[in-house]
């Protein structure tokens, strides 16, 4: 089963993916997390990606397609794609790759939320550099301020691309390049499951599960 989760930066893709993978037993393939771990490991890919990520631009299609196609193959096909595809070229390549394996996308879930809401979410986000757990300074506080609940003494950090000026550029990039992916799927008769993501986390999860449960039952 292949699920694509679309949505602007800070829409809650990572937060919801963690719950989706648990319920439907899928691999969570986050293009951003993969690039960040390459960056942390100091690989050539990570160094190249950093130049684009730090200024809120997209990593070139060729690089990310190769990376994600490899990750999907490693996951054995059953996965949730978080942050990929992000351009029409990426979406078309993903379809092509899946078709070669006689597979297809089972669901495209689109988190719909306004820019002013996501700006507030992103600038308040804090993450654990060790386990990747995500918190928010107002809406999802850790038990001990500034520290990860799971990795006890680990201090939480703010992602370098979560600074206000980079967030503005990421949103601009999203509107210029990623919103067209929704149109691509509509043109290709791929149903899009719209979710009102301007709701508390549990409400958003409930909307997603309701739609995906009926899809899983119908398979």
What would you measure as the largest C-alpha separation in the chain, in angstroms? 49
121 is catalytic: no
Strands 134-136, 125-127: pairing kind: antiparallel
Q: Ramachandran region of residue 57, left (φ > 0), alpha (ψ -120 to 50) or beta?
A: beta
Within the chain, where are the H helices? 13-24, 31-41, 44-53, 61-74, 88-100, 115-123, 164-173, 179-187, 201-218
Report, in Å, the least distance between residue 114 CB and ligand AP5: 12
- Count of CB atoms situated within 10 Å of the CB of 118: 23
- Residue 204 in contact with ligand AP5, rule: CB under 6 A: yes
In this complex, which beta carbon is closest to ligand AP5, that of residue 115 or of residue 218?
115
From 143, 200, 214, 219, residue interacting with ligand AP5 (rule: CB under 6 A): 200
**By the 8 A CB rule, do 27 and 79 touch?**
yes
Give the footprint of ligand AP5 on residues 132-171 (CB under 6 A): 134, 136, 139-140, 161, 170
Phi-psi region of 136 (alpha: psi -120 to 50; beta: other; left: phi over 0): beta
18, 57, 159, 199: the active-site residue: 159
110: part of which helix (H) or strand (E)?
A: strand 107-112
Catalytic annotation on 23? no
CB of 218 to ligand AP5, least distance (A): 27
d(CA 156, CA 151): 10
Active site residue 126: no
Pick the catalytic residue from 36, 39, 86, 121.
Answer: 86
Distances in whole angstroms, Cα of residue 137 to Cα of each of 18, 125, 142: 19, 6, 8
Which residues from 64-103 bind ligand AP5, rule CB under 6 A? 64, 83-84, 86, 90
Binding-site member from 201, 209, 211, 216 for ligand AP5 (CB under 6 A): 201
Regarding 9 and contact with ligand AP5 (CB under 6 A), the answer is yes
The answer to the question of residue 11 lying near ligand AP5 (CB under 6 A) is yes
Q: Which residues are catalytic?
A: 13, 86, 125, 159, 170
Q: Which residues bind ligand AP5 (CB under 6 A)?
A: 7, 9-15, 31-32, 35, 52-53, 56-59, 64, 83-84, 86, 90, 121-122, 124-125, 134, 136, 139-140, 161, 170, 197, 199-201, 204
């Amino acid at each position: 089963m292949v699920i694509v989760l679309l949505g602007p930066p800070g829409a809650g893709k990572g937060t919801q993916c963690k719950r989706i993978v648990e319920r439907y037993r899928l691999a969570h393939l986050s293009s951003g997390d993969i690039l960040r771990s390459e960056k942390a490991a100091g690989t050539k890919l990570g160094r190249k990606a950093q130049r684009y990520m730090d200024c809120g631009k997209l990593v070139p299609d060729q690089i990310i397609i190769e990376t994600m196609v490899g990750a999907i193959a490693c996951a054995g096909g059953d996965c949730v794609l978080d942050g990929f595809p992000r351009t029409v070229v990426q979406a078309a390549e993903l379809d092509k790759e899946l078709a070669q394996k006689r597979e297809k996308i089972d669901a495209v879930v689109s988190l719909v939320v306004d820019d002013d809401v996501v700006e507030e979410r992103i600038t308040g986000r804090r993450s654990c550099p060790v386990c990747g757990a995500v918190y928010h300074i107002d809406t999802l506080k850790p038990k001990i301020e500034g520290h990860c609940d799971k990795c006890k003494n680990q201090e939480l950090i703010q992602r370098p691309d979560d600074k206000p000026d980079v967030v503005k550029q990421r949103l601009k990039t999203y509107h210029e390049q990623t919103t067209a992916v929704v149109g691509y799927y509509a043109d290709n008769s791929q149903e899009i499951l719209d979710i009102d993501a301007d709701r508390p986390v549990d409400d958003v999860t409930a909307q997603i599960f309701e739609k995906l449960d009926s899809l899983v039952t119908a398979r």
